[in-house]
Structure 1
Amino acid sequence: MFIKVTTSGPRRYVQLVEAYRDAEGRPKQRTVATLGRLDQLNTDLESVISGLLRVTGKTMPEALPTPSLAFEPARDYGDVWALTELWNTLGFDRLRQIFKRTRHNIDVEALIRVMVLNRLCDPDSKVGVLRWVETIALPGVMAETIEHQHLLRAMDAMVDHKDEVDQVLAGLLRPLVDQDLAVVFYDMTTIRAAGLSQQSDDVRKLGMSKEGVIARQVMLGVVQTAEGLPLYHEVFDGNTAEVTTLKPTIEKIIARFPVKRVIAVADRGLLSTDNLAELQAIQLPGGGALEFILAVPGRRYADFVDLLAPFHAEHCADVNNELIGEVAWGNLRLIVAHDPDVAAQTSAKRDNLIEELEKKAAQWTSTLDGQDGGKRKRGRKLSDGGARARFYREVCDEHLTRIIQVDLKSELFTYTINERSLTHARMMDGKLLLVTNTKDLAPAEVVRRYKSLADIERGFRILKSEIEIGPIYHRLPDRIRAHATICFIALILYRVMRTRLYASAAGMSPERALAKLRRIQHHTVAVNGAQPVAGLSNISKEHTEILAALAIKKPTLKTQLTLL
């Protein structure tokens, strides 16, 4: 039987109806009783229910008690899940085999993974990692067991087994490198180091940072492919000259990634006469020679003035569009890219600076002449030596010492404009000079390859911003190198994510994708003091699309944990 509401005119009635089958087996319904009008029963419904219960010999049930719910704080899950899956699919879990044979009784691979993921999700100090793991549910890791000393011991293990770690990294990167032609880019940057203590073999040295100030720092060299994949890194002393690091670094790359043809591309700070000779002597494992594309630093432009003067007069003097050509330079090619708009802007800026400096010089000269003629002014008397020092300092600040030449030996304040140097400077404005030994690349292709070097600068910005490699708070040289390796691995994961997101036209950066995945959270609730139950928040369509773009399966709850 069941309750049914029927309508008769404007009234609605509540009836008790029985369902049955007739003699032929057809389903039928019949009214057992009419309980009354619906509008009247609304005010006396409980008495009707209690009456029916008395007829059946039952009593009114008591209200069910409100369940007791205990919620634990939600933990971020989606981002660390995605990075863990990426870590395993790329092959970084092979590090576990290395550290199984070590003297350490901790899971070094899991601890390294924790530190790498922290760099990408919420970069912080090693102590800060301990605070971060309290806010995440890391698949396969009991985060509560991690201590600060465990992180440091894991870093020490990385250094103790550096060669094996490098082999694993090279092994998982080798399939991603073109075996026929590898265009590799090399550049260096400075990483600020904190602390005042001194260590034996300290790599933290005072040097000129990329920001143009003297600071305690280390130098970091990075090699990457044309596709933006980091291949190799090395930490150098903070006062190391960039030019001395190019040859040994390229030799290590050739040894790790034996490809048929390698073209090394490097920036202005890495070109010298010695480097050119050394690079031309490097032989590939297959017997070929190393090829290179190096930018000529501005301080070396004077070496090419006589060589470029005829080229400039013939091709660059009256052009309105960018021009690319080449000039033979011994057994090498000198590629010249000339942009007339940049040339005009640079020349105008220099001419304005020279004009302003000459105005100041004229004012000081007038003041000195007036003083010699007996004209007196309030304030301190100007001297030839003071005017000369102030003017020379301003000329140096504007990098015009080759053009505005101050006579520092004369007793009087005097200077000259070197018209030859000014003419040479104007001729070099708007020009990019590249030295290469490639034979089959057109000049425009050489320029395009070099301009791709800008991507490694973006990699440095990622290291310094999203990954926050510096300032470095470690003081021991080996710990500094281990910290750099952790950040380098994080950069590999970042660049792989970037490549996959770009290929799928997802239209977002890796940090944006991780921020969205972070909304997938891990929840734990206990009902009436029973065993807690874990679950995940809903996975939206956007989450599914991001995971698909990254070639990662949807997150699930992994209950198998690693005791650290």
Structure 2
Amino acid sequence: MSPFVRRVPGRPGVTLVQIVDKSGGQYKIVKHIGSARTDAELAVKMEEAREFLNPGQGVLDFDAVDSAAVGHTAVLGAKRSGLLIDTIDTAYRRLGFDIVDDDVFFQLVLARLVEPTSKRDSVRVLNEIGANPPHCNTLLNAVGRARGRKYRDQIAEKCYRYAESTGGVTLCLYDVTTLYFEAEKEDDLRKVGYSKERRVDPQIVVGLLVDRHGFPLEIGCYEGNKAETHTIIPIVKQFQDRHGIADMVIAADAGMLSAKNLKDLDDAGLRFIVGSRLTRAPGDLATYFHWEGTATDDGRIVDTITPRGAKCLDPERVNTRAEPIWADESHPDAWRAVWQFRRKRAVRDRQTLTQQRNKAVAIIDGDKPARKTRFVRVKDAKKSFDEDAYDRAMSLAGWKGYLTNLPAATMAAAEVIGNYHELWHVEQSFRMSKTDLRARPIFHRTRDAIEAHLTIVFTALAVERYLYAVTGWSKKRIITTLRPIIETTVTIAGHTVAAADPVSDDAAYIRDALTPRG
């Protein structure tokens, strides 16, 4: 083990500072630095010990302190997590976010990244890292400015420019989530609605558009009882109008699937890839099942068509073995449908179906309380197991469908599937905003304050995604690595010198990753 600094209690009120080495379970004193009776003296001794271990780090220079310093008390200056602040500031400026000429807004973003908390408690966070925090009222005033001066528009423009330079926005991913409030009453925005977490608190619906790597491009806020399917068009149109984009592909999950949504996207000249519901499979795959049966090889892809609305496909098409090749002109009442079978997915689906069967049987037998459950058929108040529905579901296990208005000549079926499965990036961004940045619960009441809060979260998310792209490290790992590295000043007899903790290998990696090359 390498030598390290150890503080040892001495006589009452005295702390000994030593350089020690540990080998064979025994501590060996390499050098006794000295004793300290005050915090200031302890700081000096600790810096002297660090300098001994890491010579040339630019810490306390005792040669600069002349003999007049003897007998004087060392005075510690302000402490600052300088490397942490500088790292976040570098990412913020690299993204061009300093176009927002508001230092207090940056401090709100900084606090949100370091330790997400309320706006009032952000003063404590900023103070602990030595970021020279303003008064709480100044922070709250910046929240008001964020909405009034349209900071989000400026940030979104820079996000687009960054995404455009790192892969483009020809494919964008969209998803929604809900953010709840610690509030008892609803208002025009905060309403009780469908919650994936089954909460009954007032909430808002938030839509997030990201690039293929999960970098945020656009965020929108809607009433808590608004259907998810009604959010995608406003967000996409807002993004188009902001940047003058016409040619792009939108990928979204099956929750966004509605005939009107797909028509609106198509009418807007946008291409889409959305997840299809399994209930469409029997009709879409009728030709394949007719000629090939239900036994399928792993990875099998079927490129076919699906009806745009309630209208069914021509039942006579099963007489022709070849699947139709979709084109907007030749199939005005259909979309292109790509289906894939995966054996691993089939195993998982069958396990789920077996659990659902067991639950249904338990309800029918009276072993579990009655409730609406799949495969339970009720007729004349008598419950029975729907064997046909169960067998049909088992026959479709392993199949996953994708709807698109992209012709095969533009995008191959395998590429359609691959692009859809990039959606995990937007899900990851939502997890970051909810957990890493703690976007919820929200304590604001007015729409302007809520929108400003989302602007701060949106900006912090962009910085976090940038740092992740550059370092490959999570925000938590970056913060825990850099926050303990403290810079301070020590004044003895009028001489002020800088002191800093040694930079660890991990911290040096982060610092170097953000250092321009060439």
Alignment of 1:83 with 2:88, yes or no, is yes
Q: Aligned to 2:201, what secondary structure does the other structure show?
A: strand
Q: After superposition, give the CA deviation of every residue in 1:542-563 in whole Å (9 maximum; x if it has no partner).
A: 433321212369xxxxxxxxxx
Match of 1:442 among 412, 416, 440: 412
Alignment of 1:62-73 (within 5 A): 65-72=70-77
State the one-letter code of the partner of 1:516. T
Report the CA distance between 1:260 and its aligned residue.
Answer: 6.0
Report the CA distance between 1:318 and its aligned residue.
Answer: 1.8
Alignment of 1:177 with 2:164, yes or no, is yes
Which residue pairs with 2:60 in the alignment? none
| Residues 262 and 360 of structure 1, relative CA distance in 2, 3 Å threshold | closer
Which residue pairs with 2:490 in the alignment? 525
Indicate the structure (1 or 2) with the bigger Cα radius of gyration: 1
Paired with 1:69 and 1:233, the residues of 2 have a C-alpha distance of 51
Report the CA distance between 1:186 and its aligned residue.
Answer: 0.6
Q: Aligned to 2:428, what secondary structure does the other structure show?
A: helix
Paired with 2:352 and 2:126, the residues of 1 have a C-alpha distance of 53
Report the CA distance between 1:124 and its aligned residue.
Answer: 1.2
Paired with 2:462 and 2:69, the residues of 1 have a C-alpha distance of 56
Report the CA distance between 1:114 and its aligned residue.
Answer: 0.5
Q: Aligned to 2:112, what secondary structure does the other structure show?
A: helix
Match of 1:118 among 98, 111, 115: 111
| Residues 362 and 209 of structure 1, relative CA distance in 2, 3 Å threshold | closer
Q: After superposition, give the CA deviation of every residue in 1:5-56 in whole Å (9 maximum; x if it has no partner).
A: xxxxxxxxxxxxxxxxxxxxxxxxxxxxxxxxxxxxxxxxxxxxxxxxxxxx
State the one-letter code of the partner of 1:446. V
Paired with 2:457 and 2:169, the residues of 1 have a C-alpha distance of 27
Which residue pairs with 1:470 in the alignment? 440
Which residue pairs with 1:74 in the alignment? 79
Q: After superposition, give the CA deviation of every residue in 1:379-435 in whole Å (9 maximum; x if it has no partner).
A: xxxxxxxx9xx43x1xx2xx40xx32112xx3xx51344444334322332221111
Alignment of 1:537 with 2:501, yes or no, is yes
Alignment of 1:516 with 2:481, yes or no, is yes
Report the CA distance between 1:195 and its aligned residue.
Answer: 2.1
Q: Aligned to 2:94, what secondary structure does the other structure show?
A: helix
Which residue pairs with 2:305 in the alignment? 328
| Residues 415 and 543 of structure 1, relative CA distance in 2, 3 Å threshold | closer
CA contact (8 A) 2:233 2:265 kept: yes
State the one-letter code of the partner of 1:268. A
Alignment of 1:306 with 2:290, yes or no, is no
Alignment of 1:136 with 2:138, yes or no, is no
Which residue pairs with 1:215 in the alignment? 201
Paired with 2:377 and 2:455, the residues of 1 have a C-alpha distance of 48
Q: After superposition, give the CA deviation of every residue in 1:196-253 in whole Å (9 maximum; x if it has no partner).
A: 2555x3x221122222333321111110001221101011111110101111211112
Identical residues among aligned pairs (%)? 25
Which residue pairs with 1:103 in the alignment? none
Report the CA distance between 1:344 and its aligned residue.
Answer: 4.0
Match of 2:455 among 470, 473, 485: 485
Paired with 1:352 and 1:535, the residues of 2 have a C-alpha distance of 62
| Residues 518 and 344 of structure 1, relative CA distance in 2, 3 Å threshold | closer
Q: Aligned to 1:475, what secondary structure does the other structure show?
A: coil
Alignment of 1:350 with 2:353, yes or no, is yes
CA contact (8 A) 2:205 2:224 kept: yes
Alignment of 1:290 with 2:270, yes or no, is yes
Q: TM-score, normalised by structure 2?
A: 0.75
| Residues 356 and 72 of structure 1, relative CA distance in 2, 3 Å threshold | same
Paired with 2:483 and 2:516, the residues of 1 have a C-alpha distance of 15
Match of 2:215 among 215, 229, 246: 229
Report the CA distance between 1:352 and its aligned residue.
Answer: 4.9
Paired with 1:531 and 1:76, the residues of 2 have a C-alpha distance of 22
Alignment of 1:497 with 2:467, yes or no, is yes
| Residues 533 and 328 of structure 1, relative CA distance in 2, 3 Å threshold | same
Q: Aligned to 2:406, what secondary structure does the other structure show?
A: coil
Paired with 2:169 and 2:159, the residues of 1 have a C-alpha distance of 18
Match of 1:195 among 180, 183, 196: 183
CA contact (8 A) 1:82 1:552 kept: no
Alignment of 1:540-555 (within 5 A): 540-551=504-515
Report the CA distance between 1:111 and its aligned residue.
Answer: 1.0
CA contact (8 A) 2:486 2:500 kept: yes
Paired with 1:241 and 1:362, the residues of 2 have a C-alpha distance of 37
| Residues 433 and 526 of structure 1, relative CA distance in 2, 3 Å threshold | same
Alignment of 1:37-52 (within 5 A): none
Report the CA distance between 1:471 and its aligned residue.
Answer: 0.8
Match of 2:424 among 451, 454, 459: 454
Match of 2:376 among 404, 415, 434: 404
CA contact (8 A) 1:294 1:435 kept: yes
Which residue pairs with 2:28 in the alignment? none
| Residues 420 and 548 of structure 1, relative CA distance in 2, 3 Å threshold | same
State the one-letter code of the partner of 2:484. R
Number of residue pairs aligned between Structure 1 and Structure 2 = 422
Match of 2:141 among 153, 156, 169: 153
| Residues 462 and 316 of structure 1, relative CA distance in 2, 3 Å threshold | farther
Alignment of 1:262-281 (within 5 A): 262-281=248-267
State the one-letter code of the partner of 2:122. V
| Residues 111 and 180 of structure 1, relative CA distance in 2, 3 Å threshold | closer
Match of 1:242 among 228, 234, 255: 228
Paired with 1:292 and 1:64, the residues of 2 have a C-alpha distance of 73
State the one-letter code of the partner of 2:141. R
CA contact (8 A) 1:324 1:338 kept: yes
Which residue pairs with 2:390 in the alignment? 422
* Unaligned residue ranges in structure 2 (runs of 5+): 1-66, 307-332
Paired with 1:315 and 1:323, the residues of 2 have a C-alpha distance of 11
| Residues 271 and 514 of structure 1, relative CA distance in 2, 3 Å threshold | same
